[in-house]
Structure 1
Amino acid sequence: MLLDLSLLVLAVPVLAASGYLLLLTLLSGLKPAPPRLPPRLKFDVIIPAHNEEAGIANTVRNLSGVDWPVELRRIIVVADNCSDATADRAREAGAKVLVRHNQELRGKGYALQLAFETSLAEGFADAVVVVDADTQVTPNLLHAFALRLEAGAHAVQAHYGVLNPEASWRTRLMAVAMALFHKVRSMGRERLSVSCGLRGNGMCFTHAIIRKVPHEAFSIVEDLEYGIRLGQAGERVHYAWEAEALGEMVSGEKASRSQRRRWEGGRMAMMRQHGLPLLAEGLRKGDRVLVDLAADLLVPPLSWVVLGAGALAVASAALSWMSGGVALSAWAAAASVLALVTYVMRGWWVSGQGVQGLLALARAPFYVAWKLWLVVSRPAEKKGEWVRTTREGQKP
């Protein structure tokens, strides 16, 4: 009995994480696209770019084709510490270009700060949109943002998905993973009227909110950092589920290793710095946006939760076998596993990856082991440094 109670105590974090994910899963039913409004707002669409000469023109051309009057939008590329022809290729494609060189203050956060300050100073736009340099967006992007802004939102996030899921099993698995993290969780959080979170790509901010909460987020996960600052300022990020920003994901192990290390390391740093303080602040103020931001931070990566549920299942099964009955911890393990299976299968379904997505999920145990190895072997990196991901067919 004592051993069973000990396992139950150890199961609390796993149950809490899997229960939170199950709640968001049950609330993740997609809504029909809302009706469009006549175009009125002006947008500055900003593309932060570091050595992106190979693909920047395609991104600019894609954004030039969005369904929004030309006189109500501008495309601005920030060529940040580039040593190639990114600025020239962007100008040739029709974008306004800001060139930034500062070897001391490096990173996407600084590029966005310059672009936001320029947009505010020039006064053309009502809002700014952030799109990565390797991204293609759906034509309805600005319509989706405008609808939320005119309803009173100040920060909006489109769905951030995978442009090239067919490139490899790794990118297909990423498509399922991003459907889980960016669609299932975001839709559930939107239904709870809390912040859906910023994803770094496909974001929109009004000039008013940038003035209220200046963009001074310079960590490796500047989007997560700024989203926390917005929540602390009383603002939530709204989810525009019907619009998409599709980014190119790397299919090779080496480039993917570098990318995942940066993402996971940056998120863990934010969790250690802000997780418990945010939870305490949210509970003290009765602020559900802050409580949810804390919950989102404190839920470990899915690979960790799965590993914890698996270990609990094995231990409780062994205890049940030795005691000749079903241990209480076995019920906790079963509930956690069922919640996680429901969550993962929902992500697979909304990802649209079909049978190939299921086959990619079959490799998930190897992927989980790989991610855990990345965590324990992660080298120290400079805060906020912009490390460009090498894509297939491109030179680093």
Structure 2
Amino acid sequence: MLIPILTVVLGLGALVLLIPCATLGLEVLAAFSARSKDFMPQGGAIGDREAIGPVAVLIPAHNESVGIERTLAGLQPQLRPQDRLVVIADNCSDDTAQVATAAGAEVVERFNTSLRGKGYALDFGLNYLKSAPPSVVILMDADCDTPPGSLAQLAHHALTQGRPVQANYLIEQPPSQSLKGLISAFAIKVKNLVRPLGLRRLGAPCLLTGTGIALPWEVAIAVNVASGHIAEDMKWGLDLALAGHPPTFLASAKVTSRLPSDDQAAKTQRTRWEHGHLQIMKEYLPKLFSQGLRRGRLDLMALGLELSILPLSLLVMVWAAGTALTLVFALITQAWLPLAVASLAGLLLFSAVFLAWARFGRDDISLRQLVMIPLYILWKIPLYIAFLIRPEKQWIRTQRDK
């Protein structure tokens, strides 16, 4: 009697594991078949720009005096006279406000040590814009580079689609190019480019990934963004989707930021990203599936499936543990179905990783380096143990390279 019950339990567990692996495989396969036109500029030509009303670029900045001048210098040539470049100097103890002002930005300072985090800074900035609302708001981080034409494409796409638009946000490698850095940058590319591109080709919405986000003004103020959540961008995108404004992806509009070369800074950044993702999963997966079913909204169901994909290294860990457990069970009981389902999940998972590398990552990381992922996973184990013991809940700024 016990063996059939355990077979069912393990089989259901393997099936739960299969769902995110199959979702990842489908997204990567859709992205793998992308054509060159998916990366061609969409909108933003002179005629398109003239048809767009005022654009406000909003940059929350907490002690960013070291790198913000470079960010502003890349944005200013893309702005028209009627556009605004607004920096929210948020709880700064350095000269961020002075540097940004000298660089030509419109600066407003915010001081509130009890309400800390990017979400509160964004809310402050949106309220500041209400006296003269723009047609489109574009959110940028203070450490980003924006190639020419990206702002115009984002603004045009946000207005024509009438919904939030996520740019192609990627991470530049530091000069050291450590194995951890290379694999981390590849994992970010899979999350921020490959998966959203696949979702776009499948006609599904995407998650917001932190910077390079354009929204029509009415959409930008549709939900409350004031929050100290450490994954405020993902939370905001899901709140917008639930309110009827699911984000979409624009691969041709590119934004890059610099991966910290310091190991501790990189660990702090990864901890915030991944702990935030896991907290968002816990809070929003039930909402997305329940409201998707109740309201008949397939876009919410698609976002729920996308959100169910664990961070890549954690997904590999969970798959390895589940496969080992079902293997031992099969050898003892000769009940092979749970192992078969887990094996199928593994096939989809590793096929997805290989296809993503073959199409999008082979210029950044060699196959030899890619197969060293197990060493990278070992480095990440303490991060996930920390989530179980004491999850990160307070926003902590990542130390920038000088």
TM-score by length of structure 1 reads: 0.89
Query: Does residue 48 of structure 1 match 2:57?
Result: no
Note if 1:59 corresponds to 2:75. no
State the shift of 1:172 in Å.
Answer: 1.8
Residues 266 and 150 from structure 1, CA distance in 2 versus in 1: closer, same or farther, beyond 3 angstroms? closer
* Aligned residues: CA RMSD: 2.5
Q: Is the 8 A contact 2:209 2:234 kept in 1?
A: yes
Residue 58 of structure 1 deviates from its aligned partner by 0.5
Using a 3 Å threshold, how does the CA distance of structure 1 residues 109 and 170 change in structure 2: closer, same or farther?
same
Distance 1:278 1:352 in 2: 31
Structure 2 counterpart of 1:27: 30
Deviations 1:41-84 (A, max 9, x none): 22111111111111110010011233xx5224221111111111
SS in 1 for 2:291: helix
| Kept in 2: contact 1:27–1:191 (CA 8 A) | yes
Distance 2:329 2:228 in 1: 48
Q: Tell me the equivalent position of 1:148.
A: 157
TM-score norm. by structure 2 comes to 0.88
Residue identity (%): 30
Cα separation, 1, equivalents of 2:18 and 2:55: 43
Residues 72-151 of structure 1 correspond to what in structure 2 (within 5 A)? 72-123=82-133, 125-151=134-160
User: Does the aligned pair in 1 maintain the 2:174–2:260 contact within 8 Å?
Assistant: no
1:163 aligns with 2:178: no
* In 1, Cα distance between equivalents of 2:156 and 2:340: 45
**Other-structure match for 2:290:** 280
Match of 1:212 in 2: 222
- Check if 1:261 corresponds to 2:271: yes
Q: 1:179 maps to what in 2?
A: 189
- Structure 1 unmatched runs, 5+: none
CA contact (8 A) 2:147 2:255 kept: yes
Shift of 1:160: 0.9
8 Å Cα contact 2:86-2:108 kept in structure 1 = yes
Question: Distance between the aligned counterparts of 1:48 and 1:353, measured in 2?
Answer: 34
Kindly tell me: are residues 359 and 73 of structure 1, through their superposed partners in 2, closer, same or farther at Cα, counting changes over 3 Å? farther
The Cα offsets for residues 81-128 of structure 1, whole Å up to 9 and x where unpaired, read as: 1111111111111111111111111111111111112222223x2111
Matching residue of 1:301: 311
**Greater mean deviation of Cα atoms: 329-338 or 113-122:** 329-338
Contact 1:180 1:347 in 2 (8 A): yes
What 5-or-longer segments of structure 2 have no aligned partner? none
- Matched residue count: 388
Structure 1 contact 170–251 (Cα < 8 Å) conserved:
no
Deviation per CA, 1:244-280: give whole Å up to 9, x if none. 1101112332112222222222222222222113211
User: Quick check: 49-58 or 330-339, which moved more?
Assistant: 330-339
Which residue pairs with 2:250 in the alignment?
A: 240
Q: Which amino acid aligns with 2:341?
A: A
Counterparts in 2 of 1:310 and 1:117: CA distance versus 1, 3 Å: same
CA distance in 1, matches of 2:101, 2:144: 18
